[in-house]
Chains A and B, each alone.
Chain A
Amino acid sequence: MAQPAISVKDLTFSYGDVLAVDDISFDVAEGEVIGFLGPNGAGKSTVVKMLTGQLTPQNGSATLLGMDIVKDRKQVQQEIGISFEFTNLYEQMNAVENLNLFAKLYRVPDFDAIDLLQKVGLGGRDKEHVANYSKGMKQRLMMARALVSDPKMLFLDEPTDGLDPVSTETIHTLIRAATQTGTTVFLTTHDMVEADKLSDRVAFLNQGKIVALDTPARLKQRFGMRALKVEVELPNGDIEVREVTLDEDQTPQTVFDLFKSERILTVHSEEATLEDIFFDITGRGLQG
């Protein structure tokens, strides 16, 4: 791997006696989307806060774009865009004013707020006070604000939590568009489908520790079990679903016997979901 965009070594943070992040290490390549997956309280947001300079690590170190997150905190912050877990917009201002404020503070030349708002699907609602926006619209505006300075790295903390499918899809499209221009994306979520769709690699975080880190496909290959789901019609007319586990020695024979002896209605291949794998590894679900 070339110079990683994010390099984390032995990062640790506690809130009093509660160990939130426990000695984690990982690297993220430039232009990569890394999904941090874990239930509430797993430590995802704490990792984001440390990497974005909102919290100072109690142990360990990290660099973003080659800069130390503690020593070069402000320089790091100038290069990144953050979409926070909770909405933090100026609600008495409209969308254009919200974006223009940050563009001025970042000193972005020739900033076009309307163009950006159209990209996030808020064109035409730009003059309304943000207080009147739905949660999805606010989240899209937060995403737009994170993009104002054309950052090299995006931190998206639960960007689609509680959003409707349309808003979720808009944000997914924006993330994909950002990666196409080489932006590194650090995504935290407890939505395994989202992580699976968007991430080049996912990290499972459980009780402050990274318990698995790999591409979704490899994780499924390594931890999941492939299967065939076969619907058969019984002689009495009832329908029964049979599951045939793949990757076993007797699988070909089992499939052959099934097709020979039963009236097959449908056959579907199935693979383990990230949630299944997370459960297998940690013994707990992602919603916990």
Chain B
Amino acid sequence: MIGTLVANDIKLFFRHRFFAIVTAIGVVFYLVIYFLLPNQVDESLGMAFFIEDREIPLYQSLVDEPGDYTIFDSEAEMLTALEETGDFFVGLSLPADLTAAAARGETVELNAYYAPGVPAEAKQIFHDVLVLVANTVNPETLADLARFNDTPVVLGNDMTGAPLSMRDRIAPLLLMMIVVIEVFGLATLLNRDVDNGTARALVTGPLRLHQFFVGKALMGMVLAFGQVLILSAVMGVLGTAPLLLLATLLLGSFLMVGLGFFIAAISKDNASVMGWTIVFIIPMVFPGFSILLPGLATGWMELIPSYYFVDSLHRIINFGAGWADVAGNLTLLLLVGAGSMAVGTAAIMRKF
């Protein structure tokens, strides 16, 4: 019976031109975005040099050993490359007498040419590197430097040597987005069923009330989970802890189905479903963007239920987290999903 209802609802969903198009385009669009983004991180510093006297011993290593830099034959060539190619963030022109003057302790003028848009922090770091280099040239000043040993301690996941690419970072966001979008479809269909009286026809006829709601919840799960499954399979992220990932996707879909019930309950018509969906969807996607742009992450995002969905996805896909690592998140997803579904169901029943 419930299977018949679910099949009918899915048929109705895809008969709704808007939902059908959004669903099809959504999956394709997200995949295109995902595969267009680079899957590697460019960690090169992109430095450009013009060295007037390449025989000076200090510069021998630069000349002989390849690195994240390019040595140009003239200052003009270097400046053109710096300005036009976008491959370099800083260029240095090293006149022949510069090293000797620095070694003698004289003040030397050195121009560092920066590409447009280089942030102040990067300029400061490069300046500090130059000071250190200058000090190695002049042992007297080196003697004045404070001596210390530093021990690097990385908080959280140590990304040294394995940085996350944009593709890695956007994966949790895209997976969450495709599920979130289904909230609108589910809420619209549910609201329409109640509004048009078809729900009443069903529950005063062949169906019991709980069968109707279970059917709707399953329909939402099939739509949300089905799409996110396709997306994650094509993205190739299912290979990492597949069972855990499937469980997370399932619970994330459950959370969104609960939200769909809640939105349907508080909406009066299709227009208000649209309005409420926007109100809820915008904060729901914030946590996803905070993974894409880590600077956005703030503590209050943990108040948004979708945080626990996207955080789990991020940890599983990008850091190989296990069941124990995300158990807390998954429990919260289950509780919030069940809670919003219970509240939504109770509110919808009042409309019958």
A-side interface residues toward B, CB under 8 Å? 52-54, 74, 77-78, 82, 84, 86-93, 101-102, 104-107, 145, 149
Chain A residues with Cβ below 8 Å from B204 are: 52-54, 77, 82
Task: Check if A105 sits within 8 Å of B206, measured CB to CB.
Answer: yes
Chain B residues with Cβ below 8 Å from A74 are: 208
Task: Check if B197 sits within 8 Å of A84, measured CB to CB.
Answer: yes
Q: B163-183, CB under 8 A of A: which get 1 and which 0?
A: 000000000000000000000
Within 8 A of A (CB), among B135-182: none
Chain A residues with Cβ below 8 Å from B11 are: 93
Stretch touching chain A among B1-9, B74-82, B270-278, B333-341: B1-9
10 cross-chain CB contacts under 8 A: A54-B204, A84-B201, A86-B197, A92-B15, A105-B4, A105-B5, A105-B206, A106-B205, A106-B206, A149-B206
CA A82 – CA B4 in complex, angstroms?
A: 21
Task: Check if B1 sits within 8 Å of A88, measured CB to CB.
Answer: no
Task: Check if A104 sits within 8 Å of B4, measured CB to CB.
Answer: yes
Nearest A residue to B5 via CB reads A105
Chain A residues with Cβ below 8 Å from B196 are: 88-89, 91
CA A107 – CA B201 in complex, angstroms?
A: 16
B237 CB-CB contact with A under 8 Å: no
Chain A residues with Cβ below 8 Å from B16 are: 92
Task: Check if A88 sits within 8 Å of B201, measured CB to CB.
Answer: yes
Query: Is chain B's interface secondary structure helix, strand, loop, or mixed overall?
Result: helix
Chain B residues with Cβ below 8 Å from A84 are: 197, 200-201
Task: Check if B12 sits within 8 Å of A90, measured CB to CB.
Answer: yes
Chain B residues with Cβ below 8 Å from A89 are: 196, 198, 201
B202 CB-CB contact with A under 8 Å: yes
Task: Check if B12 sits within 8 Å of A105, measured CB to CB.
Answer: no
Contact A92 B12, CB 8 Å, known A84-B197, A104-B4, A105-B5: yes
Q: B8-39, CB under 8 A of A: which get 1 and which 0?
A: 10011001100000000000000000000000
CA A145 – CA B11 in complex, angstroms?
A: 20
Within 8 A of A (CB), among B275-289: none
Task: Check if B207 sits within 8 Å of A105, measured CB to CB.
Answer: yes
Chain A residues with Cβ below 8 Å from B8 are: 90, 101
Q: A54-B204, A89-B196, A105-B4 are in contact. List 4 more A-B contacts (CB 8 A).
A: A78-B206, A82-B205, A90-B198, A101-B4
CA A90 – CA B250 in complex, angstroms?
A: 29
Chain B min CB distance to A53 (Å): 6
Nearest A residue to B13 via CB reads A92
Chain B min CB distance to A97 (Å): 8
Nearest B residue to A76 via CB reads B204
Task: Check if B1 sits within 8 Å of A145, measured CB to CB.
Answer: no
Contact A88 B206, CB 8 Å, known A93-B12, A101-B4, A101-B8: no
